Structure 1
């Protein structure tokens, strides 16, 4: 290969890398997410994220108990968000129970977002397996995400040729420079109506029932492009999606965990290699999921903190006390990013220390429930 061809190839590589990065994150600088200075310490910055999961608005709308569930879910979120005063809220799926909704999915979607809209808190969503099961108009994932974005969210459409809808990342910038300090990866773990009947005879291009190999490849390519200049220290990254990956069985089986596993682990039916990709890239240090309403445990597996959120809504199954998982990311100027997580309950109680679970080799979970 001659020098001219080599130069052209290098230029094309740079252009492709920039294009991947830009396609994943295209938002006005005025809405840039930034680490927040501590009021009493200008050398310390922080970013607090609240994970709200499985609030399931819209169940039983023609009953007495259905609307009351939604009122109670709103109360839970208001209590927690007023107490925590977060910088961001991540809704990790099943905002609505689409199974019970006809023609008014967006009405329930807006009701589910009522507290963040009222309080002016930035938010983003990823889809769960119940969100798109409504019937009538404005009921598809595309409809719902367009509506969510129209309300002012940070949610985004992922690449059209990658399965899933909500595959994107959110950069959080350093207070002292223009550098990306933290990356929040948002992934779509599967469609509740797959294949959608409106796309006969097969699935829509984005239809998936797990985080697929194509999604994993998108993450790897995007991360490499994003970190192309970070040769020494990668940003801290966290990942959120709805249905747990199969490695959640490994962490529960093999490591000391903290918290409850009341449901067993209803993980994704196939393993697309996401965990191995996180390890290979090396940026993700924390992930959290929803889906299992009775689970809220955390454990560390091969260097990555793996958590469940806390069932936040009165919709959906289970009567466990409602709450939310908090992720606080901290940075002292000149030092690496640190993070900590806890639960905040609907009563306002913060739970920093949960019950310890020791591995039980005699009774491992080996299949997704």
Structure 2
């Protein structure tokens, strides 16, 4: 769900698309490119399933939702939003010092990116986390592999600006400089994993294709890496190159995997995807946010998946499932109880995308003995609000 540029005529001021990339110098992108090129020479590890808590400390996760990098990429407005998004993430990371980051979908606005490999923008989006040495995982939203949509102003008298696309010898450029064909999920996740030793993202089972980011991670005890404290499940809620649904096949994958790794329901489970299910509509507060819901903005209706195909029925039957976290709706940041679990929104983090509400990020804090899941929202100005206990 993207926004509109307030500066539609700025296209006339651009003689070459490569000026976009120069604007990223303000956040040290040249250094980032050097890092990417250096990493190709490093022996790449197989992405593990295990994260381990630090001795005597809770495990803290920052959720970055709806960054929308690359939006209106041919204007001077778009790159400025990307720089602003990096500032928001940097503030949150420096204030909270999380142990882990989750990119909760719509990392990029692929339908605005006229180059062959949108991983260039994906790399920009994860750069603040990588620069601080913090591991992360990502899932896909509906804009991450959406096909390029031709801007109407390109058909004006001024015509299409000269496009100086990335050199083909760069690791993220692809075989073609400009193709307008977009970058599919499988390529985006492949490039992230290939070039980043700190990435815990996964392709997921091949038989669930075109759904890609379906996997789980275990957060283990500080005393024993084999002793799970919580399981984190990631599901691809569609959009872009396939319908906005969590399919029955994905629901069955979750059923089998959760039964395999947590058969006695002893270990708490937390779930992440991008587009809310229809269950979010059932609990959505009216006219503000009232108890038992907790949050600060309730400015639009829930934009749910196209259909419910079984995932919520499975979740509500598992008392081990404590909460579900989504993005997608930029004007919502509430958490509301649903049956015996919580349905939560993150907070719109990126300056790309629609809406003028202040940006921020939802924080999760997991403690081990006794287990608890606590959450709050850290804003771009450093303030904290909407603290809630979810377990």
Task: Provide the TM-score with structure 2 as the length reference.
Answer: 0.74
- d(CA) in 2 for partners of 1:272 and 1:302? 18
Residue 53 of structure 1 contacts residue 309 of structure 1 at CA under 8 Å; is this kept in 2? Answer: yes
Partner of 1:102: 114
2:284 is paired with a residue whose SS is helix
Partner of 1:165: 212
1:222 maps to 2:250: no
Partner of 1:241: 273
- d(CA) in 2 for partners of 1:270 and 1:131? 20
- d(CA) in 1 for partners of 2:62 and 2:319? 24
1:37 is paired with a residue whose SS is coil
**Aligned-pair CA distance for 1:353:** 4.9
1:62 maps to 2:67: no
2:363 is paired with a residue whose SS is strand
Residue 251 of structure 1 contacts residue 301 of structure 1 at CA under 8 Å; is this kept in 2? Answer: yes
- d(CA) in 1 for partners of 2:47 and 2:217? 12
Q: 1:182-197 counterparts in 2 under 5 A?
A: 182-194=230-242
**Aligned-pair CA distance for 1:281:** 3.1
> Which of 368, 375, 380 is the equivalent residue of 1:331?
368
1:72 is paired with a residue whose SS is helix
- d(CA) in 1 for partners of 2:204 and 2:239? 14
* Superimposed CA distance per residue, residues 278-301 of structure 1 (whole angstroms, 9 cap, x where no aligned partner): 122332101110000000011111
1:321 maps to 2:355: no
- d(CA) in 1 for partners of 2:128 and 2:387? 28
> Which of 123, 129, 133 is the equivalent residue of 1:120?
133
Aligned-residue RMSD, C-alpha:
1.9
1:110 is paired with a residue whose SS is helix
**Aligned-pair CA distance for 1:141:** 0.6
- d(CA) in 2 for partners of 1:221 and 1:182? 17
Partner of 2:200: 154
* Superimposed CA distance per residue, residues 152-186 of structure 1 (whole angstroms, 9 cap, x where no aligned partner): 31000111112410010011111223211111100
1:74 maps to 2:86: yes
Cα 1:327–1:353 shift into 2, 3 Å: closer
**Aligned-pair CA distance for 1:108:** 0.6
Partner of 2:322: 285
- d(CA) in 2 for partners of 1:238 and 1:244? 15
* Superimposed CA distance per residue, residues 39-60 of structure 1 (whole angstroms, 9 cap, x where no aligned partner): xxxxxx4111111000000012
Which consecutive residues of structure 2, in runs of 5 or more, have no partner in the other structure?
1-44, 149-178
1:161 is paired with a residue whose SS is helix
- d(CA) in 2 for partners of 1:37 and 1:303? 30
Cα 1:27–1:184 shift into 2, 3 Å: farther
Cα 1:328–1:161 shift into 2, 3 Å: same
- d(CA) in 2 for partners of 1:182 and 1:258? 23
**Aligned-pair CA distance for 1:149:** 0.8
Partner of 2:61: 49
**Aligned-pair CA distance for 1:235:** 1.1
> Which of 334, 342, 345 is the equivalent residue of 1:305?
342
Partner of 1:33: 51
Partner of 2:172: none
- d(CA) in 1 for partners of 2:237 and 2:140? 8
Residue 220 of structure 1 contacts residue 281 of structure 1 at CA under 8 Å; is this kept in 2? Answer: no
Mean Cα displacement is larger for which, 154-163 or 301-310?
A: 154-163
- d(CA) in 2 for partners of 1:67 and 1:28? 31
Cα 1:327–1:115 shift into 2, 3 Å: same
**Aligned-pair CA distance for 1:27:** 4.8
1:268 maps to 2:305: yes
* Superimposed CA distance per residue, residues 14-46 of structure 1 (whole angstroms, 9 cap, x where no aligned partner): xxxxxxxxxxxx9566x83112223xxxxxx41
Residue 377 of structure 2 contacts residue 384 of structure 2 at CA under 8 Å; is this kept in 1? Answer: yes
